[in-house]
Amino acid sequence: QVQLVESGGGLVQAGGSLRLSCTASGRTFGGYTMGWFRQAPGKEREFVASISRGGGTTDYADFVKGRFTVSRDNAKNTVYLQIHSLKPEDTAVYYCAAGGSVMTRQSRQYRSWGQGTQVTVSS
């Protein structure tokens, strides 16, 4: 299984921006579709965004409403999640996950997960 490490979370005021990063080990990063999920206390883990192996196709949850952008740099073994106009309801632990050859919104179809990075948005 590929090892994933997220970074870039933190405390930010509403309306601010964050750029989350997820770096993978190994030399076959380009063989995985990648997904971003988030989970708040007392809530189920929910899909945020996904990106195809080559980075040419993306998928977003409806609540994103244009505020989130997922991208990847396979030469750096890294996938990113750029978040603008943060809202308090965005507060959660954000996870990246490695999938197979087909993009999916279902967390159970991902087999490798990072440790998560905390995003806290204050009013």
Region of 63 on the Ramachandran plot (φ > 0 left; ψ -120 to 50 alpha; else beta): alpha
pLDDT for 26: 80
**Token pair for residue 28?**
């076959």
Q: Reduce the DSSP state of residue 91 to 3 states and report it.
A: coil
**Token pair for residue 55?**
């980075």
pLDDT for 106: 97
pLDDT in tens, the chain (123 residues): 799 999 999 999 999 999 999 999 988 899 999 999 999 999 999 999 999 999 999 999 999 989 999 999 999 999 999 999 999 999 999 999 999 999 999 999 998 999 999 999 999
CB 73 within 8 A of CB 97: no
Q: Reduce the DSSP state of residue 31 to 3 states and report it.
A: helix
pLDDT for 111: 87
pLDDT for 61: 97
**Amino acid (one-letter) located at 53:** R
Round to whole Å and give the CA distance between 38 and 25: 22
**Token pair for residue 118?**
């905390």
